[in-house]
Amino acid sequence: MADMTELTTALTDPGDVVEAWDDLILFADNHGMVVESNNVRLKYLPDASKVDTSFWEALALETKTLEDTLRRFPPRQIHEITCCDGRSFLLRIIPLVSSLAPYGGFVIIATDNRPMEALYESYEERLEDNITAWSDSITLFNAFFDAALDATFLIDDEGTIIAANKMAQRQHSKSEHGLSGDNFKRLLGKRFHALLRNAMHTLQAKELWTKNVVAIDGDGEGFPAEATLRKITFTDYSLYQLILHDLTEHEELKEDLLDQKAEVKEKEIALKQVLKSVEEERKEMREQLTSQVKKQMLPALERITTSDTPEVREGYKSIIEDQLVDLANDSSGEFDSELLRLSPREMEVCQLIQLGRSGKEIAELLSMSFETVQTHRKNIRKKLGLRGRKASLYTYLRQKPSLS
């Protein structure tokens, strides 16, 4: 009994380590009879701490002898025992060495399973919740990832492609196994490999790296693209999201716009040359008209002013009218009696209208405001007798001989 007391003290003294776990500890002699306990009570085994009874009876192990108990529950192993109301506890039987108990004996430890079961259930529930949330997150990520309109890749620190969306597979791969496991270098022209690798080393979380590059399609052909790199940092590692936006249509549209701009420029130059030529012809025509007026009509006007006879004046007046009509109805088509009423600037506006130019184009070509062009159009319609009529000025001028 003294040895048992010393053993009990040795096992229960230092910081009450044993009792801290709420374990029921029984000390039995070499016959299995309980001689002492740590007095921890298990609610479903209220008499388990009772001395002078066998430990298998105290713990309701449903065995009859020590030999039967040790055979069914071998020492130094952990056994789960189910007892009253479905409760369970863990059983450990530890034989005492002779240095501690010369007559032999056992230490029996019964650990209540309820806290462990509750902890297990709590962790199991949390684990299931986390697994569900993780699964939902993956589903959502895959939905967004595959729905992206641009080729999108996930790349690890080594530059290996670990995932590629549908657009990426369609744009950069023709093989059945896809792009996973390949190096990112197959996606870009050689001169961009070092640039992207350097960006991966220097990029910080939440930063973006953007660069116009030459991307490589599934046939090995290059095409213009905008590369965007984003770093995604986890606890122990990082991934990189690489987006390659195809700029082929953008570049083609840009080239088309440049071609159209060049074509418009050429037409503008040609039109200005035409206007210059028209102006020169107009100047020559005015000089000819001035010469004819001086030679033919001025003498007649002078005679009208000096003649006292009404018949003579009327005669010269008829001569002048006939000469004006002849000038207006010149067989060359260079004159129109109705257009003679217009000013030189109005004639220029008419020429451009006849050519089908818009008001804004006329304003630009003649270096005047759009409002000024509209004022000229109004005056022209008035002088030509079109005011109040539904006929358009363009239709009217198209019926006339070319003013150019």
pLDDT per residue over 42-95, tens digit each?
A: 777 777 778 888 999 888 888 999 999 999 999 999 998 887 666 788 899 999
Exposure on the CB side of residue 154, measured as CA atoms within 13 A: 13
Picking from 198, 217, 246, the residue at the C-terminal end of a domain is 246
As a whole number of angstroms, the distance between CA 366 and CA 227 comes to: 47
**Chain-centre distance for alpha carbon 349:** 51
CATH number at residue 81: 3.30.450.20
Mean pLDDT of the chain: 78
225 phi and psi angles, rounded to 5 deg: -150, 155
Instruction: Please say whether the dihedral angle defined by the alpha carbons of residues 339, 340, 342 and 344, taken in this order, is positive or negative.
Output: positive
DSSP-derived secondary structure letter, 85: G
Same domain, 275 and 367: yes
143 in any annotated domain: no
Task: Give the DSSP per-residue string, 215-272.
Answer: EE-TTS-EEEEEEEEEEEE-SS-EEEEEEEEE-HHHHHHHHHHHHHHHHHHHHHHHHH
Alpha carbon separation from 4 to 95, 229, 372 (Å, rounded) = 13, 72, 122
Q: Does residue 183 sit in the same domain as residue 84?
A: no
Claim to verify: residue 170 and residue 208 sit in the same structural domain: yes
pLDDT tens for 89-124 read 889 999 998 888 888 899 999 887 766 656 666 777
Extract the tokens encoding 357: 């130019």
Top-confidence range, 275-279, 328-332, 391-395: 391-395
Q: Is residue 144 part of a domain?
A: no
> Are 107 and 195 members of one domain?
no
Q: What is the CATH number of the domain that holds 286?
A: 1.10.10.10
Q: Identify whether 118 is part of a domain.
A: no
Tell me the percentage of the chain whose pLDDT exceeds 70. 75
Is residue 305 located within the same domain as residue 227?
no
Same structural domain, 236 and 268:
no
Do 19 and 90 reside in the same domain of the chain? yes
State how many domains the chain has. 3
pLDDT at residue 391 greater than cutoff 60: yes
Query: 298 and 232, same structural domain?
Result: no
268 and 238 in one domain? Answer: no
In a domain, 88, yes or no: yes
The helix/strand/coil state of 94 is strand
Decide: residue 193, CB within 10 A, 0-12 exposed, 13-18 middle, 19+ buried: middle
Q: pLDDT tens-digit profile of 189-242?
A: 999 999 999 988 898 877 889 999 998 888 888 889 999 999 888 878 888 889
Average pLDDT over residues 300-317: 64
Q: Are residues 20 and 97 in the same domain?
A: yes
Give the residue numbers spanning the domain of 29.
2-112
157 located within any domain? yes
CA distances from 207 to 145, 149, 187, 199, 210 (A): 20, 22, 22, 11, 10
Statement to judge: residues 275 and 239 lie in one domain? no
Same domain, 80 and 164: no
Using one digit for the tens of pLDDT, what is the confidence trace for 261-278? 777 788 788 778 877 777
Residue ranges of E strands in 141-188: 151-155, 161-164
pLDDT at 8: 46
Last residue of a domain, one of 85, 112, 139: 112
